[in-house]
Amino acid sequence: MPILKVNKLTKAFGGLMAVSNVNLELNQGELVGLIGPNGAGKTTVFNLLTGIYVPTSGTITLFQDNNQTQLQCLKPYTICKAGVARTFQNIRLFKDLTVLDNVRIAMHKNLDYGLFASLFHTKAYSEEENQLIEKSLELLKILKLHHKKDELARNLPYGEQRHLEIVRALAANPSLLLLDEPAAGMNPAETANLTEMIGWIRKNFNLTILLIEHDMSLVMKICERIYVLDYGMVIAEGTPSEIKANKRVIEAYLGEEVNHA
């Protein structure tokens, strides 16, 4: 069953066509890669899917519980509430808050108490906040960051900051997780650990994942299908083995024609 359908998605910035007629489809539980050379439009697609940019044209449809939600004109916080969470290519943690508080913030969209309860610290407020802390600690423990809960996010090693950003995205309780270059800046050991983590998260959180990544070993190892962008257009789609052998993909990455003889 599809969870996301993107139809003829287009974004123009003045005279620059950043994304042109992109079609994507993700099925429930899939782990799909989105790759392409630098400047191909990958992060622009993520920004369109999450409401940071408004499409020039095209539709983005999220399917959940027999309901369809059109995302293309919604605000980012509404899209997050609908079940789409993301990480960023450049880490965007609240670096002067603790590890625990970074996760708690992401969970506040699920709280039911109102302004009165928060101002006067009613019983409902205390109960929900305590539950929120417990759930945050559970997530941190699952991803092995609970022992750093009281540290400022800025003091974490780079790899753990990357992990914390993923934890924060999971705290929003998404059904669709978008990971924008999660292995950027990591050494081989950190990348290997991240590869295992992404596969484990997909399975244990029952998530569908769309992944942008330049580390082809990671992409080819964990992705079931791959879309390839070049100059804002999808030039190929298929399994990792199909993408490796695709001449248009090779040309896009090498910047020269492949001998078709």
Q: Is 228:36 a contact under the CB 8 Å cutoff?
A: yes
At residue 257, the pLDDT reads 55
As averages over each run of 10 residues, the pLDDT of the chain (261 residues) reads 96 93 96 94 96 97 91 93 92 93 83 60 74 89 92 93 93 94 90 91 93 92 95 95 92 63 41
At residue 201, the pLDDT reads 92
At residue 260, the pLDDT reads 45
Nearest CA-CA partner of 167 in 95, 84, 77, 104: 104
- Note the pTM of the prediction, 2 decimals: 0.89
Buried b (16+ CB within 10 A) or exposed e, 36-48: bbeebbbbbbbbb
At residue 246, the pLDDT reads 93
